[in-house]
């Protein structure tokens, strides 16, 4: 298990519906504390347009997609016993927000000293993931919480280093570049690879299946990600400092299943 002590509360930040549970759903289900999953781009865009992705997922408009995904997220969070919070920012594809003040506010409201916070590492190119990470770390810098970055799925599973020590130590050049803004400013003190037990996988799998509208298109490029031996059975997190520090090398520590 991760964390300095038994956390009093767990707050997982998810750029979009499904990111947090797909990436660390096993950890979230296993942590013995109340869990809140905050979806940053959880709002409804103006009606009348649909992104290519939303069309691919079977929706006639972005608004219809957002409403359906909010319901899916409530079901998924219900599977792991988490409390969902949806911020009002639409998916960034409908226009990037000028700030994420609502995220700062929710962090200040929910994150207590005994909280464990999970933040997307943004190993992908997606601007919404980078924006969420950077705004969250800025808001968390003055708080004394236990903060961890998580490798974002289904993107992380496509690295040839996935599941091995190379992923933990950022041997992947692409990841290193994408995570540089966070690593340079805060450093990564510790890495943890978690392989889910069959029981924890079964819970995570059930939660991920709740995001039904996105699973078929995701499978076209993420392959066998719903299989027991697939990439979602591994979760990877890095502990970061709560305040800016000089960059430190990642300690190569590998922890097998709980």
Q: Which is nearer to Zn ion, 66 or 250 (CB)?
A: 66
19 binds Zn ion (CB under 5 A): yes
The CB-of-124 to Zn ion minimum distance in angstroms stands at 7
131 binds Zn ion (CB under 5 A): no
Question: Which stretch, 7-15, 47-55, 70-78, 213-221, contacts Zn ion (CB under 5 A)?
Answer: 7-15
Q: Which is nearer to Zn ion, 16 or 178 (CB)?
A: 16
Q: Name all contacts of 248-252 with Cβ < 8 Å and 24+ positions apart.
A: 248/187, 248/188, 248/189, 249/169, 250/168, 250/169, 250/170, 250/188, 250/190, 250/191, 251/189, 251/190, 251/191, 252/165, 252/168, 252/169, 252/191
Cα–Cα distance, 123 to 39 (Å, whole number): 18
Q: Which is nearer to Zn ion, 17 or 162 (CB)?
A: 17
Please, which of residues 223-252 interact with Zn ion by CB under 5 A?
none
Give me 103's structure tokens.
Answer: 């995220």
Q: Which residue is nearest to Zn ion (CB)?
A: 16
Cα–Cα distance, 107 to 58 (Å, whole number): 33
Q: Can you tell me which of 7, 12, 13, 15 binds Zn ion, judged by CB under 5 A?
A: 15
The CB-of-19 to Zn ion minimum distance in angstroms stands at 4
Point out which residues bind Zn ion (CB under 5 A): 15-16, 19
């Amino acid at each position: 298990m991760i964390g300095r002590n038994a956390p009093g509360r767990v707050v997982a930040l998810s750029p979009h519906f499904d990111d947090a549970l797909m990436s660390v759903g096993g950890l979230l289900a296993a942590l013995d504390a109340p869990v809140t999953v905050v979806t940053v781009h959880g709002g409804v865009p103006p009606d009348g347009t649909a992104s290519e992705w939303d069309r691919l997922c079977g929706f006639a408009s972005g608004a219809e997609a957002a409403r359906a995904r909010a319901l899916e997220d409530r079901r998924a969070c219900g599977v792991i016993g988490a409390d969902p919070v949806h911020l009002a920012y639409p998916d960034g594809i409908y226009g990037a927000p000028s700030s994420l003040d609502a995220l700062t506010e929710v962090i200040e409201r929910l994150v207590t000293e005994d909280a464990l916070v999970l933040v997307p590492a943004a190993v992908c190119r997606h601007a919404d993931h980078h924006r969420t990470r950077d705004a969250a770390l800025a808001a968390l810098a003055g708080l004394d919480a236990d903060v961890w970055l998580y490798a974002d799925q289904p993107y992380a599973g496509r690295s040839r280093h996935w599941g091995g020590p190379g992923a933990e130590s950022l041997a992947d050049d692409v990841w290193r570049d994408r995570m540089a803004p966070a690593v340079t400013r805060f450093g990564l003190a510790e890495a943890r690879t978690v392989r889910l037990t069959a029981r924890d996988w079964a819970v995570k799998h059930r939660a991920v299946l709740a995001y039904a509208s996105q699973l078929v298109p995701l499978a076209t490029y993420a392959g066998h990600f719903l299989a027991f031996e697939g990439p979602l059975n591994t979760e990877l997190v890095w502990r970061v400092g709560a305040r800016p520090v000089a960059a430190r090398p990642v300690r190569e520590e590998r922890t097998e299943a709980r």
